[in-house]
A = this chain, B = another copy of it.
């Protein structure tokens, strides 16, 4: 298949592009490289040293003989995006090209508006490019489990049958997103569903859980193929951050009681889920939703697992319960369905000690790159303005 990966230089996007290329698909990456710039803005760097995109692609050619095209530009630039769609003529477009950090979106108005405009306009542009030039292309959009929030009922995959006053209908599952970022994904979902209805587009919304891990079979082939490993309070996802904290002797930063329960998955399952969606496309006019995660954990569960795994490596780890900077339930019911990708053949990589070992060993290897000042939350959901540039402590590098 001809597969375009929008946001293919990012964390999930890069792993996906390599995986699909190795599986024999013709892959093109479209990316504005803005994610690298956000590191600059925040004064942080990924734990792992990233090669420039051209060097990454050169390494891929050398390691596998396969070429991945790169198109550097912004999905919010319609002429650029539509030109790419016409020229590359993809069978499937995988859309990762969004600002994906909840804390980043909560810094202040500029970041909130920037996140929503970037994500909503990029997705609208993609919908129009497909509507104008490539209606049969299958859109695979990265959503988030965070679109649902934490309702007191089971979470279904996108839709729920509701019986009310003696009548029934199957309706979109109600959304209660918890940040301006998560809201942007809800906006996207509504926009995509509508375009499937009016123009007959075909789309799969992958409501992904929290991703952990960094290594995939492909990224191991050459050091220049190494993937991002974000551990900071803005872009670092919780399990990756805990592993880095354990590796350098920093207390694990649990927000509040830690009863916040979410769906999680290994990045090796992210890439496989996306492939399964490609190989089993939505029908014309269909807006399909898969919940893309493999296991549920509470934040405290994860902290305890990391603490135990660290102990086996001879590391003593404390758990700090910080005041929760987010506005969220710290204890709640959570039961989200996630059978559709399993039905298509997903064989999950469940969380294991060996994965935690691997993450902590990567963190130990690169510990000189860890900035301790980036561990503590600086973005408080309760404030309309978080002046991160002022509140950030001076950078302190781990010894």
Choose, from A111-119, A228-236, A276-284, A313-321, the stretch at the interface.
Answer: A111-119
CB neighbours (8 Å) of A116 from chain B are: 120-121, 124, 187, 191
Answer whether A177 and B162 are a contact pair too, CB < 8 Å, given A153-B167, A153-B169, A169-B152: no
CB neighbours (8 Å) of A197 from chain B are: 327
CB neighbours (8 Å) of A73 from chain B are: none
Q: Interface size bucket, A side?
A: 35 or more
> CA separation between A173 and B175, bound complex, in Å?
9
CB neighbours (8 Å) of A112 from chain B are: 124, 128
* Of B121, B125, B171, B194, the contact of A174 (CB 8 Å cutoff): B171
* 0/1 string, A215-235, CB within 8 A of B gives 1: 000000000000000000000
Q: How far is the CB of A327 from chain B (nearest CB, A)?
A: 4
> CA separation between A113 and B117, bound complex, in Å?
9
Q: How many copies altogether?
A: 2
* Of B154, B180, B187, B190, the contact of A164 (CB 8 Å cutoff): B154
* 0/1 string, A149-169, CB within 8 A of B gives 1: 001111000001011110111
* 0/1 string, A45-67, CB within 8 A of B gives 1: 00000000000000000000000
CB pair B183 A190 closer than 8 Å: yes
The answer, yes or no, to whether A186 is at the interface (CB within 8 Å) is yes
CB pair A165 B187 closer than 8 Å: no
Within 8 A of B (CB), among A113-159: 113, 116-117, 120-121, 124-125, 128, 131-132, 151-154
* 0/1 string, A174-194, CB within 8 A of B gives 1: 111111100100110011011
Choose, from A289-297, A342-350, A379-387, the stretch at the interface.
Answer: A379-387
> CA separation between A121 and B125, bound complex, in Å?
17
Answer whether A121 and B132 are a contact pair too, CB < 8 Å, given A154-B165, A381-B198: no
The answer, yes or no, to whether A78 is at the interface (CB within 8 Å) is yes
Beyond A109-B124, A153-B171, 20 additional contacts (C-beta under 8 Å) are: A78-B109, A113-B124, A116-B121, A117-B117, A117-B120, A120-B120, A151-B169, A153-B164, A153-B165, A162-B162, A167-B333, A171-B176, A176-B193, A178-B194, A180-B194, A183-B190, A183-B194, A186-B190, A198-B327, A198-B382
Enumerate 5 A-B pairs (CB-CB under 8 Å) in ascending A order. Answer: A116-B121, A116-B187, A116-B191, A151-B171, A172-B176
